[in-house]
Amino acid sequence: MKKNNIILIGFMGVGKGRLARALAAETGFFALDTDDLLESFENRKIKKIFRQEGEPYFRNLEKRVAHWLEIHVSSSIISTGGGFFAVENLNRIGTVIFLKADFETILQEIFEHPKAAKKIKKRPLLQDTEKARALFDARQPLYADKADMVIDVTGRPSQDIASEIINHLKFAPLAEA
């Protein structure tokens, strides 16, 4: 049986973490983030993990996180790193929602953000815009393939997207403890 988690997938900077927090507030679930889990497990930042160990090591950590989520986590909204969708057990962790926006919009939001420099610096795969665009193009069909629901998030407030998801999934908020 599928677990009752909601998993948000999609490209870097599309707003997975922000939406996870909005959904958590609406549902009474807690929000978790796979990058945060992996960083606390490793006690170092993603940028450092990529630099010191390389990308394959990072992808293995994602698999470990995915395994742990499948076994131990329920009733949670899980935001993921942009490459996490590739883990073999993704669909067993919960209902997968692909947040879709076009590349130009994503870039614009990142570059116009007050903390743009920080947002770019912490993402090793966003250092070269053309390489990032190629990665974006290659991943779009792969995200869609894994998704139980695809939602266009371009220019929409998180609150609005959260309501659409809750309605679509006919999601009953948890009673207050």
| Residue range at the interface with ligand S3P (CB under 6 A); choices 96-104, 119-127, 140-148, 163-171 | 119-127
Cβ 162 to ligand S3P, closest distance in Å? 18
Binding flag, residue 82, ligand S3P (CB under 6 A): yes
Please give the residues from 8 up to 47 whose contact with ligand S3P meets the rule CB under 6 A.
12, 35, 46
- CB contact set of 171 (below 8 Å; sequence gap of 6+): 27, 165
Look up residue 91 and give its amino acid: N
Q: What's 124's DSSP letter?
A: G
Instruction: Name the β-bridge partners of 6.
Output: 77, 95
Check if the beta carbon of residue 5 is closer than 8 Å to that of residue 74.
Answer: yes
- Of 23, 78, 81, 99, which one interacts with ligand S3P (CB under 6 A)? 81
3-class secondary-structure state, position 111: helix
**Residue with smaller CB distance to ligand S3P, 81 or 94:** 81
Closest to 97 in 3D by CA, of 41, 35, 30, 167: 167
Binding flag, residue 123, ligand S3P (CB under 6 A): yes
Binding flag, residue 99, ligand S3P (CB under 6 A): no
| Residue ranges binding ligand S3P (CB under 6 A) | 12, 35, 46, 81-83, 123-125
